[in-house]
Amino acid sequence: MEHALRALLGDDGVLPGTTRAYLTDATESRNIRGRADAVALPRDAAQVRDTVAWCYKHDVPITPRGGGSGFTGGAVPLDGGVVLSLERLAGPPQLEPERWRAHVPAGVTTAELSRRAREEGLLYAPDPGAAEQSQLGGNIATNAGGPHTFKYGVTGTWVTGLELVLAPGELISIGGPVRKDVAGYDLKSLIVGSEGTLGIVTAAWVKLLPAPEAQLPVVAFFPDVETGCQALTTIMASGLVPAALEYLDEIAVAHAIRAFPGEAPRDPAFMLIAEADGSVPEAQRLRAELLEAMAPGALATHAPEQRGEIRELWRWRSGVSLAVISVRGGKVSEDIVVPLEYLAEAIIATREIGARHDLPACSWGHAGDGNLHSTFMIDLEDPAEMHRSEQAAEDLFSLAVRLGGSVSGEHGLGLVKRGALAQQWPGPAVALHESIKRLFDPKGLLNPGKKVANR
Amino acid sequence: MEHALRALLGDDGVLPGTTRAYLTDATESRNIRGRADAVALPRDAAQVRDTVAWCYKHDVPITPRGGGSGFTGGAVPLDGGVVLSLERLAGPPQLEPERWRAHVPAGVTTAELSRRAREEGLLYAPDPGAAEQSQLGGNIATNAGGPHTFKYGVTGTWVTGLELVLAPGELISIGGPVRKDVAGYDLKSLIVGSEGTLGIVTAAWVKLLPAPEAQLPVVAFFPDVETGCQALTTIMASGLVPAALEYLDEIAVAHAIRAFPGEAPRDPAFMLIAEADGSVPEAQRLRAELLEAMAPGALATHAPEQRGEIRELWRWRSGVSLAVISVRGGKVSEDIVVPLEYLAEAIIATREIGARHDLPACSWGHAGDGNLHSTFMIDLEDPAEMHRSEQAAEDLFSLAVRLGGSVSGEHGLGLVKRGALAQQWPGPAVALHESIKRLFDPKGLLNPGKKVANR
């Protein structure tokens, strides 16, 4: 197989299937690792097409791979075959600043796209957690969100066109630089979030926005979950529109607080981070209103105004996940969503589920979107704990479905949640889902074993 | 057929197929009228399901119908069968103001939803042209846009959940009140914009936003298209984000100007309408910046600040379409989209295409989205003109495709543009499009003859 791929991609375009870095993703933190026969590193979209065509002809499974920062094992090859990494499709994004848009190869990192946009005074709004590592293609495959999704929407909101390879080996475009298009069914949105199971994105047109002049976060610490969630309700009922609305529960705060770049009260049970953005006067006005809305019942507030302090705060927020991993060496972290009115209930239930399975648990995440990162901290060396954490995750999914929510708000299903969709969707919708998969991928070779609706 | 439907829907749930109001839509302005065997008026989602089940069992075509304000004949029954009007699914929208969302039956008019939201201090952002007539179900079926789409996005942006009837007669839900969900393929977006050819929406969950305190329009008149389009570029390059960015060309202005609620210069060749919104100080700041960006080269500007004047301006803007119809009694109006840099070219080409086919032509529309309402004014009594207008429309579609745009930005394909997708999409994508139709509607009974990709 390596030999055949070298003929297509050149010697530098193929690595041995045993190359460890390509056999896992962020699920390394729960000991997940796959097996591949070869790693393909196509240089351009035509080589992606040729690789897919070769694999499709020879019945070889294809596991597409972006930056490998996913939490669901979506990029983990299960049963051999080819890992197809898009990392070399990384030519710089082509920005058209006056038209608020860019054409971006799939392998460009999220951080690189954001930086280039900023250099032109523009904002690429999606801000998933591992921006230096994740790539636009992977963000599209998972329809990635982030803290600022609350105001700005998920990745798909910003994609107007896709270039992609379909089975059995066709390179096509859907959409483009146009801002509106209702001529066909929305195939673009069908591909976005399909986790490499319907086609492989090689480039995208994305919309940009003028960057807000100011971004002013407001942090508040609370004595309990209810008071904190009440502040969230007050913000929304007051008609304030923060750019982000994040929370940490008691245990998440406890594990991360030592590095907090500011003063924090002793043992808060809940933390809320809101951000005001816009023109300088607008962001300042909103900052003041957020402070007023969040102060009642708060133990303390913290609202940095210096650029350096603000950057430190968000850097600290990005580090929460690592701080939680470091407690016991591993974690199982899910991304359930619930209707807003059940946020407090889901936060409390996460801890209860942990207790029931004898696992320390915590949660943090995107409060304004009702999107929790419900997490069990585990010892990777203890198989019994690993097993209990899987059962705990199942309980989380049942909780989300029972509350009218979703088993996944931003990570997708990948390997670790495959089959979970059938809990949440009615039978006819699940059947259509599976039929659509067969339509796009009749041989079942595109990221096999991932995102399947039925287990 | 009427008899069988009465057994399902009661005597008041069925009208004769000859009931004229149900046989056309806004394509009445181009003499399009269909033929039906019966009109079904189900009272609730269960009756919609029962009607679809009966039709599917008896191989009877179903033409779903909202407010009948569409421009493509999407609601026109072609070959008999049942017109299924959702107008009685009009129970009031259930608003949850503190959570910025509503559950809305498909037959609620767009204006009713907007009014209810406003009463709670909230904004339902989509603002298609015939809001008093159009219904949410129809807005979803076409993924309707409007002037404020520039800042706020099309209808689908605001839909988080759908209740719908699928063939052969299943009532299901996808999504719900949650703000994020990436568990399954995005079936919701596949249904949105599918023009009743994949399923029939009976209700939706929509997101709302706190209503902006102020909405301040700024109008500028220009001596030519290029100077006007340059103003648009200046606005975007300056990083200003208006809520709307509309234009009228010379002929559209000429026909509508008599009723203009303000002073206008003699014979302007181009008109731009921008709107600043947000908090009062923010909207005022942006209004001033828009005036500054639009003034260079303008013949005159007009920026009303009184609520009544502002309402008059937007009412006038809504009346442009009728003013143009009134010139010759009929019009063929398409909704092509082009990348922003080709807006001026498409505006000029619309006039040239009209001249080539000996038809007076004009255009207006959503400048910031590159979305033109390119229009030929016709005499409905003259079959030769009708024929020429169809050829002119074909030239428009070729223009849009040649410029890298779309044949439809907000009206959909319906009857009058069916088959046009194949001009714009590559073969494999068109084939998938047709396969998806067969998957959802194997008997081809859901709005037959509409939106088909190949002619």
Give the pairing type, strands B62-65 and B82-85: parallel
Do B143 and A182 count as a contact with CB atoms less than 8 A apart?
Answer: yes
Contact A186 B192 (CB under 8 A): yes
User: What angle in degrees, to the nearest 10, is found between the helix axes of B225-237 and B280-294?
Assistant: 140
Residue in this structure with the two tokens 């088909």, named with its chain if needed: B452
Nearest by CB: A408 against B182, B210, B366: B182
Banded pLDDT at B212 (limits 50, 70, 90) = very high
Residue-level pLDDT at A31? 87
CB contacts under 8 A, A 277-306 vs B, are: 278-279, 281-282, 285
Average pLDDT of A39-66?
Answer: 98
**How far is residue A322's CA from residue A375's CA, in Å, rounded to a whole number?**
12
Q: Return the SS3 of A202.
A: strand
Q: H/E element holding B205?
A: strand B200-207
Q: Nearest CA of chain A to the CA of B180: how many Å?
A: 5
Q: Which of residues 9-48 of A touch B (CB under 8 A)?
A: none
Average pLDDT over residues A343-353: 98
**pLDDT for residue A203:** 98
Put simply, the answer to whether B189 touches A184 (Cβ < 8 Å) is no
User: How confident is the model over A187-219, as pLDDT tens digits?
Assistant: 999 999 999 999 999 999 999 999 999 999 999
Which residue of A180, A189, A191 to mutate against B (max B Cβ within 10 Å)? A180
By C-alpha distance, the chain B residue nearest A198 is B185
pLDDT at residue number A387: 95
Q: Which of A95, A166, A185, A191 to mutate to test the interface with B (most CBs of B within 10 A)?
A: A185
Report CA-CA distances (Å) from A189 to A67, B187, B190, B245: 21, 9, 7, 26
Confidence bin at B454 (pLDDT 50/70/90):
confident
**Minimum-distance CB partner of B179 among A179, A370, A436:** A370
C-beta of residue B189 within 8 angstroms of C-beta of residue B156: yes
Candidate from A150, A193, A240 with C-beta closest to B185? A193
Q: Are A209 and B339 within 8 A, CB to CB?
A: no
Contacts of residue B437, Cβ cutoff 8 Å, sequence gap at least 6: A185, B197, B198, B444, B452
Closest Cβ opposite residue A338 in set B178, B240, B440: B178
Residue type, A51: T
Residue of B179, B398, B407, B430 to mutate for A, most A C-beta atoms under 10 A: B179
Q: Does A198 touch chain B (CB under 8 A)?
A: yes
* Cα–Cα distance measured from residue B212 to residue B199, given in angstroms and rounded to the nearest whole number: 35
Give the DSSP per-residue string, A331-351: EEEEB-B--GGGHHHHHHHHH
Substitution target in A72, A103, A173, A179 with the highest count of B β-carbons within 10 Å is: A179
Nearest CB to A185 within list B185, B371, B436? B436
User: What was the pLDDT predicted at B31?
Assistant: 87
pLDDT of residue B428: 96
Q: A181 vs B337: CB contact, 8 Å cut-off?
A: yes
Check if A245 contacts B (Cβ < 8 Å).
no
- Tokens representing B87 are 């107008």
- In this prediction, residue B65 carries a pLDDT of 98
Q: Does A412 touch chain B (CB under 8 A)?
A: yes
Measure in Å the smallest separation between the Cα of A315 and chain B Cα atoms. Answer: 24
Q: Residue A172: its chain B contacts at CB < 8 A?
A: 426, 428-429
Shortest CA gap B364–chain A (Å)? 16
- Nearest residue on chain B to A435, judged by CA atoms? B439
Partnered with residue A332 across adjacent β-strands are: A376
Q: State the smallest CA–CA distance between residue A289 and chain B in angstroms.
A: 12
* Chain B residue whose CA is closest to A409: B181
Closest CA to A106 of A161, A181, A60, A184: A161
Give the chain A residue whose CA is nearest to the CA of B123.
A239
The predicted model gives B418-430 an average pLDDT of 95
Interface of B with A in 115-174 (CB under 8 A): 121, 142-143, 145, 149-150, 153-154, 156-157, 166, 170, 172-174
Instruction: Tally C-beta pairs within 8 A across A and B.
Output: 239
Taking the C-alpha atoms of residue A43 and residue A29, their distance in angstroms, rounded to an integer, is 30
Tell if the CB–CB gap between A428 and B241 is shorter than 8 Å. no
Test B187 with A241 for CB contact under 8 angstroms: no
Q: Which pair of tokens denotes residue B173? A: 């839900």
- Please give the pLDDT value at position A454: 80
pLDDT in the model for residue A79: 87
pLDDT digits over B49-98, tens only? 999 999 999 999 999 999 999 999 999 999 899 999 999 999 999 999 99
C-beta atoms surrounding A412 within 10 Å: 29
pLDDT per residue as tens digits for the range B355-394? 999 999 999 999 999 999 999 999 999 999 999 999 999 9
Residue A406, chain B, CB below 8 Å: the answer is yes
**CB-count exposure of residue B382 (10 Å: 0-12, 13-18, 19+):** middle
Question: Which residues of B, range 340-379, sit inside 8 Å of A by Cβ?
Answer: 340-341, 366, 368-371
Give the residue on A whose Cα is nearest the Cα of B284: A282
Confidence at residue A113, expressed as pLDDT on a 0 to 100 scale? 98
Contacts of A339 in chain B (CB under 8 A): 99, 176-178
8 Å CB contact of B186 and A186: yes
Give me A362's structure tokens: 């915590």
> What is the pLDDT averaged over residues A401-412?
97
Residue A16 to chain B, least CA–CA distance (Å) = 32
* pLDDT per residue as tens digits for the range A418-428: 999 999 999 99
Chain B positions touching A407 (Cβ under 8 A) are 183
pLDDT at A47 over 80: yes
Q: Is the pLDDT of residue B455 over 80?
A: no
Asked if B1 reaches chain A (Cβ–Cβ under 8 Å), the answer is no
Q: Answer yes or no: is pLDDT of B448 > 80.
A: yes
User: Two tokens at A378?
Assistant: 């585990």
Contact B337 A439 (CB under 8 A): no
The residue among B182, B186, B191, B280 with the most chain A CBs within 10 A of its CB, best to mutate, is B182
Q: Which among A209, A210, A453 has the least Cβ separation from residue B184?
A: A453
Chain Cα centroid distance, residue B20: 23
Contact residues on chain B for A100, CB-CB shorter than 8 A: 236
A255 at B interface, C-beta within 8 A: no
**Cβ-Cβ contacts under 8 Å, B340 against chain A:** 99, 179
**Chain B positions in Cβ-Cβ contact with residue A237 (cut-off 8 Å):** 97-98
DSSP calls for A278-347: ESHHHHHHHHHHHHHHH-TT-SEEE---SHHHHHHHHHHHHTHHHHHHHHHSEEEEEB-B--GGGHHHHH
The alpha carbon of residue B178 is apart from the nearest alpha carbon of chain A, in Å, by 5
* Nearest of A390, A437, A396 to residue A416 by alpha carbon: A390
**Contact residues for B340 (Cβ-Cβ < 8 A; gap 6+):** A99, A179, B232, B236, B368, B370
Q: What is the pLDDT of residues B173-203, one digit of tens each?
A: 999 999 999 999 999 999 999 999 999 999 9
Q: Which residue of A has its CA nearest to B408?
A: A183
